[in-house]
Amino acid sequence: MEFVASHLLTLILFLPALTAIVILFLPRARVGLIRGVAFAASLVPLGLSIWLWLAYDAAHSGYQFVEQADWYRAVGSSYHLGVDGLSVPMVLLTTLLTPLALLISWSIAENVRSYMALFLMLETGMLGVFLTIDLLLFFVFWEIGLIPMYFLINQWGSANREYASFKFLIYTMAGSLGLLLAIQLIGVASRTFDLQEISVLWSGLREPLTLLGLPITLSVGTVKAIAFWAFVIAFAIKVPIWPFHTWLPDAHTEAPTAGSMILAGVLLKLGAYGFLRLVLPLYPVEAKTYAGALGLLAVLAIIFGAFAAWGQEDFKRLVAYSSVNHMGFVVLGIAAAAYARGTLAAPDAVIALNGAVLQMFNHGLSAAGMFLLVGVIYDRTHTRDLRSFGGLFPLAPVYGGILIFTSMASLGLPGLNGFVSEFLVVRGVWPIFTVYTALAMIGLLVTGAYIMRGVGMVLHGPLNPKWADHSLEINRREIAAIGPLMALMLWIGVWPAWILGVINKTVLHLFG
């Protein structure tokens, strides 16, 4: 037990990868065994994450459960893990969604062994981004999270999966190249990749940087400017911020249901987490200078994402564009915090940033739930065309009730989780970016319209007779997969203090 307590983050991080290796040695034909081992093993990191959450001291603002060991001493990089109020909710979200996504993957019948192994490797990659506080390791895990998702879309996606997976790879690799450049420049200039040390050294750096093998010397200001823009572009693509969003609808539409759940639930959060962890702390001056432009792009994402979702006839594509819309509120909160830091509006910025971090968690719940429900109806009907549905509520009343509940959480109905986070963002941003907030309300209005339109086209109106003799009801395994998400949507909506108490202390420490 003492070993587990002292290596808790390492166990959470690498148990999925170790399970993936074990699965590769299981007989390919033993599909039931492979599914059972993958699902059971994915529950272990979830249990350890719950232990982490319960043991985490919300009154302490710094990193906790820190583990450090030599890894690549020659370049100043170490195996350095830790969590704070920004990362521990994301770790809990990742380890929660992974077993639920695996549970919904029982419909995968081909190459199950490879599918499960890739999914567990993907979990390790995502967790590594949230757990590591060494920039070189941050990049390694960032890339580990990219490759499995490419193969999940390419091998188990829909008809247009090759195009969607290639587009996903090109966009995210383009951002990764800039990210690697920025991390290299910071590491060479600081002579370390340790984020805690860089946070102390970075603002005081004055020595010019000479590029080895080239007769070029860069000032510290130039190095910082290059790294800043490389970070911003990489994270903007990952969120994604408009107009870098065009890879997202295709990737979501063609990915298998579980892939869409993880893509929306966790992978999009890596970009927002990068802004919070790296851009705002390391570049407060630059972030403040360009906060207005970032806020404008966030508002455009909110508005255009909502109108794009309204115009969709494909149910899954509607939910995909809703992610652009909802993640716009996260970016708007981050932009407000960057602009108001150190001013009289700083308390409002703290409110906005609390809302942004909570929105990351909340969107992970509601978006994963919505993609799960789209997958359920697609498995029965083999179509996602909203015009092909209609009047299905009497045929699937349990499914209909769950769809309405989850849609209302996504919409932001008071009493459910989406309302709390979006209200905090709007309340915090209003004194800082008043015009932006007012414009964002257009997107909020259209959000209600496209959610109600989608629900109405699926469940209400005249019954499409082609489904009259079909069994469309959700089954017990699918209810078990979405049940925990619904419980958390309601719990956060009714009593958000249990998670905001963890987030707020770190936000105050870093940005207050």
Q: Of all residues in the chain, what percent carry a pLDDT higher than 90? A: 53
Confidence tier at 157 by pLDDT (50, 70, 90): confident
CB atoms within 10 A of CB 351: 24
User: Is the per-residue pLDDT at 225 higher than 80?
Assistant: no
| pLDDT tens, residue by residue, 236-279 | 988 888 888 888 888 888 889 898 999 889 988 999 999 999 88
Q: How many CA atoms lie within 13 A of 303 on its CB side?
A: 13
Average pLDDT on 82-92 reads 93
How confident is the model at residue 73, as a pLDDT?
78
User: Is the per-residue pLDDT at 208 higher than 70?
Assistant: no
The residue assigned the tokens 């910025």 is: 349
Confidence tier at 70 by pLDDT (50, 70, 90): confident
The CA distance from 277 to 195, in Å, is 9
Confidence tier at 214 by pLDDT (50, 70, 90): very low
How confident is the model at residue 132, as a pLDDT?
94
Q: What is the pTM of this model?
A: 0.92
Q: How far is CA 479 from CA 43, 294, 364, 381, 395, in A?
A: 17, 39, 18, 18, 16
| pLDDT tens, residue by residue, 46-60 | 999 999 999 998 888
**213 phi-psi bin (left φ>0, alpha ψ -120 to 50, beta other):** left
Query: Alpha-carbon torsion 357, 360, 361, 366, what sign?
Result: positive
| pLDDT tens, residue by residue, 456-473 | 999 998 888 888 888 888
One-letter amino acid of 296:
L
The CA distance from 294 to 429, in Å, is 13
> Residue 316 has which token pair?
């899954």
User: Is the per-residue pLDDT at 216 higher than 70?
Assistant: no
User: Is the per-residue pLDDT at 206 higher than 70?
Assistant: no
The CA distance from 388 to 317, in Å, is 15
| pLDDT tens, residue by residue, 1-26 | 777 778 899 999 999 999 999 999 99
Omega of the bond prior to 394 within 30 degrees of 0, cis? no
Least confident span in 82-86, 204-208, 393-397: 204-208
- Determine the 3-state secondary structure of 390 from DSSP: coil
Q: What does the mean pLDDT of the chain come to? A: 88
The CA distance from 483 to 83, in Å, is 27
The CA distance from 305 to 246, in Å, is 11
CB distance 510 to 281 below 8 Å: yes
The residue assigned the tokens 């969120």 is: 239
The CA distance from 287 to 275, in Å, is 10
DSSP state of 194: B
DSSP state of 111: S
